[in-house]
Amino acid sequence: MPTYDLKPEISIKDYQDAWNGYEKIKSILPFTGEKKVIAIECYPGVDLEELENQLLEALPHASLVCSDDYAYDAETVTKKIQRTLTDDRVFGVMSHYTLDEFFPKAELKKIQQKIARFDGMTVIYGTGATIIASTPDVLIYADLTRWEIQCRFRSGRSNWKADNASEDALRKFKRGYFFEWRMADRLKQNLFPKIDYLLDTNIPNEPTMISGADYRKALKHVTEQPFRLVPYFDASVWGGQWMKEKFNLDPEKENYGWAFDGVPEENSVRLRFGEVVVEVPSINVVHQFPVELLGEKVHARFGKEFPIRFDYLDTVGGGNLSMQVHPYVEYIQDKFGMTFTQNESYYILEANENSTIYLGVKDGVDKDEMVADLKKAEQGDYRFPDEKYINCFPVKKHDHYSIPSGTIHCGGPDTVVLEISQTPYIFTFKLWDWGRVGLDGVPRPVHIDHGAENINVDYNTTWVKEQLINPFRTIQETTNYKEEHTGLHELEFIETRRHWFETEALVQSHDSVNMLNLVEGEEITVESLDNRFKPFTVHYGETFIVPEQIKEYRLVNQGNSKEVAVIQAFVKVL
């Protein structure tokens, strides 16, 4: 049986050259010759010590300047951004800082004047290198994926300009999510047309590099064909065992609760240039070619944000997810500075007789009484009586449940959920976590005060049964093909369709970028109707993206399964 591809790649044919390893990179870069300034702008999290030891140590005659040394110190930066960070362990406020705000102007002027007096070559490296030298003779951008940054946080790495190596990973992630990555992405977008070389620093001591021209062409090429993101997997206190077997993951790991395989803000793309693979954050594609990828209508509505998210939740052999609720639009805008909220749905990919979903409150629930019991449970030595307040429904394979913001919900045991949702993916207000602590031994954070402001008790048993459970409606059907509307709820801006077919299906993009997953069957190909791209192979469980500029495409059953099913998500055009 075809297997899930853990490292999908996009082959780039039209390029000049590509290099791997520091020795080859040093031989290519213009590190000798006349007076010049070279800037190595680094995404926060790039290992500067590695650059110093492996790349810059070979430049005995160059003047080296680390830009980080000329930014404010850690205490000043943290104080400056305190309103963005907040005192909360998980949630901050989306910042609008730019990197230049963290370089004192007097110090900046001094180092710029000093560099002007240097003879020969000057190499400025670090986060903010281009703040010091805005028009260098050569610009190298050292990039890094967010998952690799998070792994470095967990291993003890600090945030940029922060003395927080021992701080818990949630707080480090919060500082990255709300502050560092926003600021760095703004700068990266501005530098994109100026980059002379793109340096991939994801694998320690094994960099790869391409020219800026090839990098720009490659990102545009991504938007001209179906493609997959590079998935990553993570453990959880409720994590299960299903993905280990189905996706050929490390069997020695205790569990895998999460799979992020359709989150452009978090995932990456692997670009193959002959023997060299360059991995970059997939959000780079969204930022640089939003119209080509998203479509004019989606771009007009969301700007440079990818509004759809697919991920997996695996509780097979594990436990319940946390009881939770997502914020209303006005709440997430007012409290956190986000533009839209986290509506979602659960598509059931695997289930047995124990599988359940908690969804909505029971008829007649008193909200104040329920919140009081949640707060009592938060203090410990008291079990929240979920059976008194919350609906619990059995689920089966291929069910689909809409979950608009304001709906209390929780996935049950022995279930694999394909979560299809709107993108702001960290805004989950945990209300009750079954008395558990996290994998780090620290009690998992709950946010009852936030949650209480967003629980809608009108989303009760009666309403949920009428509105949220399996809203299937057949759109068209022939002997060997059926297209169904499967959700999401009318309050949510994503629409999902399911395509069942024996041989092939013709699919429309609906003026939106499409995100899809093969939820039944072994293997399909995505094929062009006009030969614009080569047939693209998809295996069971793989999430893939079809850019909006591909208006129509064909899905073809290539496996041994008599019938296959693909679920398609797109933005409803109002």
| Cα gap 463→195, rounded to integer Å | 54
Residue closest to 255 by CA, chosen among 238, 240, 233, 243: 240
Model pLDDT, residue 227: 98
Q: Which two tokens stand for residue 469?
A: 């459970």
Long-range Cβ contacts of 482-490 (<8 Å, 24+ apart): 486/347, 486/400, 486/567, 487/345, 487/400, 487/401, 487/402, 488/343, 488/344, 488/345, 488/402, 488/404, 488/420, 489/343, 489/345, 489/402, 489/404
Per-residue pLDDT 10s for the chain (574 aa) are 568 999 999 999 999 999 999 999 999 887 766 779 999 999 999 999 999 999 998 787 889 999 999 999 999 999 999 999 999 999 999 999 999 999 999 999 999 999 999 988 999 999 999 999 999 999 999 999 999 999 999 999 999 999 999 999 999 999 999 999 999 999 999 999 999 999 999 999 999 999 999 999 999 999 999 999 999 999 999 999 999 999 999 999 999 999 999 999 999 999 999 999 999 999 999 999 999 999 999 999 999 999 999 999 999 999 999 999 999 999 999 999 999 999 999 999 999 999 999 999 999 999 999 999 999 999 888 999 999 999 999 999 999 999 999 999 999 999 999 999 998 878 999 999 998 877 777 677 899 999 999 999 999 999 999 999 999 999 999 999 999 999 899 999 999 999 999 999 999 999 999 999 999 999 999 999 999 999 999 999 999 999 999 999 999 999 888 999 999 999 997 6
Contact, 310 vs 262, CB < 8 A?
yes
366: which residues sit within 8 A by CB, 6+ positions away?
none
Query: How many residues are there in the chain?
Result: 574
Model pLDDT, residue 57: 86
Domains of the chain (ranges plus CATH)? Answer: 22-206 (3.40.50.300), 320-467 (2.60.120.10), 473-571 (2.60.120.10)
Q: Which two tokens stand for residue 81?
A: 């951004």
333: which residues sit within 8 A by CB, 6+ positions away?
339
Residue closest to 191 by CA, chosen among 221, 161, 212: 212
Residue closest to 475 by CA, chosen among 492, 497, 491, 490: 497
| Cα gap 93→86, rounded to integer Å | 7
Contact, 356 vs 392, CB < 8 A?
yes
Model pLDDT, residue 95: 97
Model pLDDT, residue 29: 83
Model pLDDT, residue 33: 65
| Cα gap 223→226, rounded to integer Å | 8
Q: Which two tokens stand for residue 242?
A: 């299903």
Spatial strand order in the sheet of 400-403: 232-234, 258-262, 308-314, 415-422, 344-351, 400-403
Model pLDDT, residue 2: 66
Burial grade of 478 (CB within 10 A; 0-12, 13-18, 19 or more): exposed
